[in-house]
Structure 1
Amino acid sequence: MSHPMMWVFAVLIVLAMGGVALLAAGHGEPMRTAYDDRPDALVPTDRPIGAGDLRTVRFSLAFRGYRMSEVDALLQRLAGEMDRAAAPPRDDAE
């Protein structure tokens, strides 16, 4: 035969889990629309992207995403290259 106290604890655990599930579900109410708090990656759409745009762009964080330091380093490098390409040519022949 099984122990009656084991069954009492099993029923109490199931009831507790059901209560937590009801609280988490909001007592049968539909879930609210999720609020998107991620920052927008603001890049211009009406003109070409410039070096300043690359310096100020920010991406949202994700659990499985890219390393922020690598993305920042690449954006900084691209912004520098765009600045050098846009700079007037120097006359080093002097």
Structure 2
Amino acid sequence: MFFFLLITMVVVVAAVTLAVIGGNDGTVLPDAPPEQPADPLPANRPVARADVDALRLPVTPRGYRMADVDDVLDRLGAELAERDARIAELEAALAGAQATAVPRPDLFTKPGEQEDR
């Protein structure tokens, strides 16, 4: 009985293997093309919050494709660095403008009056 089950199991495994690899003609299952992100980040304008919210990366049997995740993270990192540099530039320009601003007279005191403090 044991040998019968063993032979049956070998035959079933061989039949399934032949069915998967294509049978007698020797052809192999064709590779499926990799999925690409359905909503990639826009290339012609800065990334907005709605773009990140709408982004869906394709899922593979082991998780996400590393190349797609790396591309998205590189793009978001570059966008954030550019925005940080722009904010620093604007803050420096504002600080420079405030330092060189001429103090204007107090609008609530009459000319010739001194403010008591």
Quickly name the TM-score band, shorter chain normalised.
0.3 to 0.5
TM-score (structure 2 length as normaliser): 0.41
TM-score (structure 1 length as normaliser): 0.48
